[in-house]
Amino acid sequence: MVPAPVLPVHPATNGVSPPAGEGSSQPPPKSQKNMTKAERRELQERQRAAKAAAKQQTATPNNQPNNKNQSKQNVPPPVVAPPPALNRPRKSGEGTPKPPVTPGAKGPRESRSMSISEPPVLNARSLRIFSHFGLPKPVSAAKGDIHPAILRLALQFSTFKISGANARCIATLTAFKTVIQDYSTPPNNTLSRHLMTYLSPQISHLVAARPMSVTMGNAIRQLKLEISGSDIDLPEQDAKNALCHKIDNYIRDRIIYADQVIEETAGKKIKDGDVILTYARSSVVQKVLLGAFAEGRQFSVVVVDSRPMMEGKKLLSILTSAGIQCTYLLLPALGSIITEVSMVLVGAHSIHSNGGVYSRAGTALVAMMAKQHSVPVVVCCETYKYSDSVQLDSFTKNELAPVGDKFCSFPLVTPRDKLTLENRARLEILNPLYDLTPPSTITAVVTEVGVIPPNSISSIPLALGRL
């Protein structure tokens, strides 16, 4: 009687094949087409772990340890492949198996995030809360047919060679006169329609160099109104001459003559022996002080200045060269001299319908300090700086001054490059250019249409006959 064959029984090996010579036989490996999704995933994880281990083994001969103890510490642990997944349904709480973590190896997701989303060092501490401020930036390449006069003016705006509301508006209108004279109407078009299309990229290029001021916006709006109302029956050269003449009238009436009226009205407020305090530099305030001194009034001026523009130095040199007695101090020292001041005289970048005055950063601090010590605050402002909008703070809309002491004019022993503060890895410099002075701290606003209290600023359009 032949005995029945006995099948060999092998112990569990936890996924590790038994050593050779034991007579064990394994079924042939499945092809990837016959594998389930879980088995294919496990196979890919084993291959990835084997590649990581091979990389570590090839890297160890280059860094040979000095002693045996270090060699034992540097040897990576053996990688044990997980057992093949059984073809069984997964439980509801069971997730996808994760690849084995080997020392010194990064997973694909980690390496991808490190290579793509690694921020530069300079932006590690970026003040994103002020990212909506108008940042000074170099002029980019011109988009469209940009006139050379506009290219030159945009470069001067971006480098702050031309600053101040009046100076920027006059320079813009003067450049537009050149653009209009060099313009020629294409065939089958009219000047009143095509010229406005031609001016649009010119304006966009200026705005790209530096945010548009209220004065520039009002002047450009008036220019477009004059272009749209030009007579289409006029010859082209006559129409262009008429537009340039209207631009000259706007500069004369709204800026030059307005400053003369403000100079005469505000100059009458200055008496002999007064101490006038002014902040930074305003072209209108400068004319008021020089005009009052030319009429024989004896007074002194306190010029308060602040970084980064340091515009008070230019005003100080002009007043002292004219013979006016002046005192120069920085903004933190304002409290030590405010009790000796008779009146505060400041300018404005724009004035809003709610009575708020938008001016150089630091003006609000000067006005509040003067209000605390019962010193009258008088603002000199032309009516073409009026804006129908209501502004309550200087955070929603502002502009940043250039970084660094580019406007410093003191003689320096140390090179300027070593004294200039610039953005670094752990240093972000923020220089807001304007602030908003609340109407409660302003005594009166002197315009070419009269002296207006701050709570009646909204009546300026009525005084100009617009309503």
pLDDT per position as a tens digit, 170-211:
999 999 999 999 999 999 888 988 999 999 999 999 998 899
Q: Give the pLDDT of residue 426.
A: 73
Q: Give the pLDDT of residue 397.
A: 84
Judged on CB neighbours under 10 Å (0-12, 13-18, 19+), 52 is buried
- Cβ 214 vs Cβ 154: under 8 Å: no
Mean pLDDT in residue range 45-50: 87
pLDDT at residue 39 greater than cutoff 90: no
DSSP letters for 247-280 = HHHHHIIIIIHHHHHHHHHHHTT--TT-EEEEES
pLDDT at residue 72 greater than cutoff 60: no
- Sign (positive or negative) of CA dihedral 267, 272, 277, 279: positive
CA distance 329 to 345: 16
Q: Give the pLDDT of residue 287.
A: 96
Q: What is the mean pLDDT of the chain?
A: 80
Q: Give the pLDDT of residue 307.
A: 83
CA distance 437 to 280: 15
Predicted TM-score of the model (pTM)? 0.69
pLDDT confidence band for 22 (50 / 70 / 90): very low
In tens, the pLDDT along 119-134 reads 444 443 456 667 777 6
Cα 357–335–297 angle (5° rounding)?
Answer: 70
Higher pLDDT, 274 or 401: 274
In tens, the pLDDT along 371-394 reads 999 999 999 999 999 999 888 888
| CA atoms in the 13 A half-sphere facing the CB of 405 | 14
List the structure tokens of 420: 């200039």
Domain boundaries, the chain: 148-258, 268-463
In tens, the pLDDT along 212-246 reads 999 999 999 999 999 999 888 899 999 999 999 99
CA distance 461 to 384: 10
The CA radius of gyration of the chain, in Å to the nearest whole number, is 38
Q: Give the pLDDT of residue 428.
A: 75
Q: Give the pLDDT of residue 56.
A: 77
pLDDT at residue 110 greater than cutoff 90: no
pLDDT at residue 16 greater than cutoff 90: no
Higher pLDDT, 41 or 24: 41
pLDDT at residue 73 greater than cutoff 80: no
Percent of the chain at pLDDT > 70 equals: 70
List the structure tokens of 191: 């000047």
Higher pLDDT, 316 or 94: 316
Higher pLDDT, 30 or 406: 30
258's CB contacts (< 8 A; 6+ apart) are 382, 383, 384, 447, 448
In tens, the pLDDT along 75-90 reads 445 544 544 444 444 4
- CATH no., domain 268-463: 3.40.50.10470
In tens, the pLDDT along 314-364 reads 999 999 999 999 999 999 999 999 999 999 999 999 999 999 999 999 999
pLDDT at residue 105 greater than cutoff 60: no
Q: Give the pLDDT of residue 136.
A: 55
Report helix, strand or coil for 282: coil
What would be the CATH architecture of the domain defined by 148-258? Answer: Up-down Bundle (1.20)
Please report, for residues 158, 181, 190, the alpha-carbon distance to residue 239 in angstroms, rounded to integers and kept in the order given: 32, 10, 11
CA distance 445 to 466: 20
Please report, for residues 355, 449, 451, the alpha-carbon distance to residue 457 in angstroms, rounded to integers and kept in the order given: 6, 11, 10
pLDDT confidence band for 419 (50 / 70 / 90): low
438 residue type, one letter: P
> For 1-10, 31-40, 57-66, 299-308, which range has the lowest pLDDT when averaged over its residues?
1-10
